[in-house]
Amino acid sequence: MKDLSVDNLTTIKDLSKSDIELIFNTADNFKKILNQPIKKVPSLRDITIANLFFENSTRTKLSFELAEKRLSADIINFSSSNSSVKKGETLLDTVQNILAMKVDMIVLRHSSPGASIFLSRNIDAKIINAGDGSHEHPTQALLDSFSIRQNFSDFKSLNVLIIGDIIHSRVALSNIFCLQKLGAKVGVCGPSTLMPKFLKSLNVEYFKDLRSALSWSDVANVLRIQLERQKLKYFPSLREYSSRFGVTKKVLDEIKNKVILMHPGPINRGVEISSDVADSKQSIILDQVENGVAIRMAVLYLLAKKIKK
């Protein structure tokens, strides 16, 4: 089998289809490991990883941390709320200081799009992008597609819908790239104000109406409305958004086909998705979280392989 074609995981765009398949196959093996009585393997015991989270995160941070610990790596954690960044240090300086302590890999979350690409051009350590502003969130896209793969045999002829705040969502962008590379068709649905201008160049289908969008799709990935990123008012009220684009039992009953529902979290129950639907058998939200650890183990393992001895 071939190695990954990239040295850092900054965007899904850089990955080839065979890279994604390699990550999935490795994650399959790690999923088995995660079901063993002892869930730890010694693969990365001579690797040190720094988790640099310049932006808040619970799920992604815990998931990465657990994946690193399951692989026996040494880890250091950093979050910007209690750091020298507040004292005026630049990103590059902060990272170079951390690297001086002999760190091999960096997991970076940052509010600026392209932060991880910038770092990868300037430093030696392997970089994994854990979300950079509204740009990309590659491991989330990988675990979403991995979760879809567990329910369908093939991505060809599969229609995947992404509902909600596309313009601010790094999850949406990474998912679109990842799914298209695997051969699936992607559609988006939401208020037209929350669609990016470059939507046409992404080669996705746009639906104004939630019901027709859901009838088209096999899988629907429901996104959260990212109020913290919205500087303007994009729609009149959350209540109105919810009544037009909220996925509820009533809407799902009206369409004929069965749609599998996903959500990258955190969920705002009653806004983009109703509670009964989020907890129903149609939703694979908790599978996504479980798969997240296996996918991140696979990514860390495959990139660590490339660190020169």
- State which residue, 125 or 194, has the beta carbon closest to other proteins: 125
In the complex, the smallest distance separating the C-beta of residue 73 from other proteins, rounded to whole angstroms, is 12
Q: Give the up-direction half-sphere exposure of residue 37: CA atoms within 13 A in the CB hemisphere.
A: 0
- State which residue, 3 or 276, has the beta carbon closest to other proteins: 3
Taking residues 70 to 99 in sequence order and writing x for each that binds other proteins by CB under 8 A, - otherwise, the string is -x----------------------------
- State which residue, 52 or 71, has the beta carbon closest to other proteins: 71
- State which residue, 44 or 172, has the beta carbon closest to other proteins: 44
Cα separation, 299 vs 21, in Å, equals 12
Give the residue, chosen from 6, 14, 29, 282, that forms a contact with other proteins under the rule CB under 8 A. Answer: 29
User: Do the beta carbons of residue 175 and residue 220 sit within 8 Å?
Assistant: no
Cα separation, 31 vs 56, in Å, equals 27
Cα separation, 10 vs 163, in Å, equals 24
In the complex, the smallest distance separating the C-beta of residue 30 from other proteins, rounded to whole angstroms, is 8
Report if residue 41 touches other proteins, rule: CB under 8 A. yes
- State which residue, 41 or 85, has the beta carbon closest to other proteins: 41
Cα separation, 96 vs 124, in Å, equals 10
In the complex, the smallest distance separating the C-beta of residue 34 from other proteins, rounded to whole angstroms, is 11
Report if residue 221 touches other proteins, rule: CB under 8 A. no
Cα separation, 152 vs 160, in Å, equals 12
Report if residue 258 touches other proteins, rule: CB under 8 A. no
Give the residue, chosen from 13, 17, 40, 208, that forms a contact with other proteins under the rule CB under 8 A. Answer: 40
Give the residue, chosen from 8, 10, 11, 43, that forms a contact with other proteins under the rule CB under 8 A. Answer: 43
Report if residue 33 touches other proteins, rule: CB under 8 A. yes
Taking residues 274 to 303 in sequence order and writing x for each that binds other proteins by CB under 8 A, - otherwise, the string is ---------------------------x--
Cα separation, 224 vs 164, in Å, equals 7
- State which residue, 40 or 211, has the beta carbon closest to other proteins: 40
Cα separation, 193 vs 115, in Å, equals 26
Distance of CA 53 to the CA centre of its chain: 15
Residue 90 sits at φ, ψ, to 5 deg, of: -80, 165
Report if residue 49 touches other proteins, rule: CB under 8 A. no
Report if residue 48 touches other proteins, rule: CB under 8 A. no
- State which residue, 238 or 307, has the beta carbon closest to other proteins: 307
Size of the site for other proteins (CB under 8 A): 23
Cα separation, 120 vs 7, in Å, equals 9
Both tokens of 256, joined, read 């004929």
Q: Helix or strand or coil: residue 48?
A: strand
Q: Burial, 96: exposed, middle or buried (Cβ in 10 Å; 0-12, 13-18, 19+)? A: middle
Give the single-character DSSP code of 256: S
Report if residue 6 touches other proteins, rule: CB under 8 A. no
Strand 48-53 and strand 74-79: the pairing is parallel
Cα separation, 257 vs 210, in Å, equals 14
- State which residue, 40 or 156, has the beta carbon closest to other proteins: 40
Which residues of this protein are in contact with other proteins, per CB under 8 A?
1-3, 25-26, 29-30, 32-33, 36-43, 71, 301, 304-305, 307, 309
